[in-house]
Amino acid sequence: MGNFFSSMFDRLWGVNKELRILILGLDGAGKTTILYRLQIGEVVTTKPTIGFNVETLSYKNLKLNVWDLGGQTSIRPYWRCYYADTAAVIFVVDSTDKDRMATAAKELHLMLQEEELQDSALLVFANKQDQPGALTASEVSKELNLVELKDRSWSIVASSAVKGEGITEGLDWLIDVVKEEQL
């Protein structure tokens, strides 16, 4: 009942819900760089995130509450603490890191099995395209076994956080999907 009223209230006053978006991925994939690329449009020098960064940003009249969680092995188990109420997941992959592609795939599928993430959209950034030897988006997609994903809207976008390529395209797609589903 309370939920009903509060959602009524939201619509009545046009108060938009914040959309919770998680940025996940192995360590050193470029999550924090993408987050601050989105927020302030600049490349910031980052240190490994121990814990999380959270920023609120407005994008196309939507309020996005973006959580960037650290990717260290030691922190990955705690990702689950942040799954609740998540509209979308952005999974960032270091396209040059061929050795750990399998680990990334495992983490991704493990995460997607979670109950709380069944309804969230997935956007994969095949990041670091500016570097030599980077796998293309389709190669990454193959490595990550993305085709296996059913019942979920997903997309993969080749990106370079440093150059700012592909980030907005990816986000545009994500927002469209999320808008359709959530609002």
Chain residues binding another protein by CB under 8 A are: 2-3, 6, 9, 13-15, 17-18, 47, 49-54, 70, 73-78, 80-82, 84-85, 110
Asked whether 84 and 103 are in contact (CB, 8 A), the reply is: no
**CA-to-CA distance for 94 and 114, rounded, in angstroms?**
23
**CA-to-CA distance for 22 and 20, rounded, in angstroms?**
7
Q: How far is the CB of 25 from another protein (least distance, A)?
A: 14
Q: How far is the CB of 157 from another protein (least distance, A)?
A: 26
Q: What angle do CA 102, 104, 108 make, to 5 degrees?
A: 120
- Any known ligand binding at 28? yes
Q: How far is the CB of 10 from another protein (least distance, A)?
A: 9
When the beta carbons of 41 and 51 are compared against another protein, the nearer one is 51
When the beta carbons of 72 and 168 are compared against another protein, the nearer one is 72
- Any known ligand binding at 53? no
- Any known ligand binding at 182? no
- Any known ligand binding at 129? yes
- Any known ligand binding at 26? yes
Q: What angle do CA 98, 99, 105 make, to 5 degrees?
A: 80
Q: What angle do CA 177, 175, 180 make, to 5 degrees?
A: 35
Q: Mind telling me the catalytic residues? A: 72
Q: How far is the CB of 115 from another protein (least distance, A)?
A: 14
When the beta carbons of 53 and 168 are compared against another protein, the nearer one is 53
When the beta carbons of 2 and 132 are compared against another protein, the nearer one is 2
Residues at the annotated binding site? 25-32, 49, 71, 127-130
Known binding residues for Mg(2+) are 32, 49
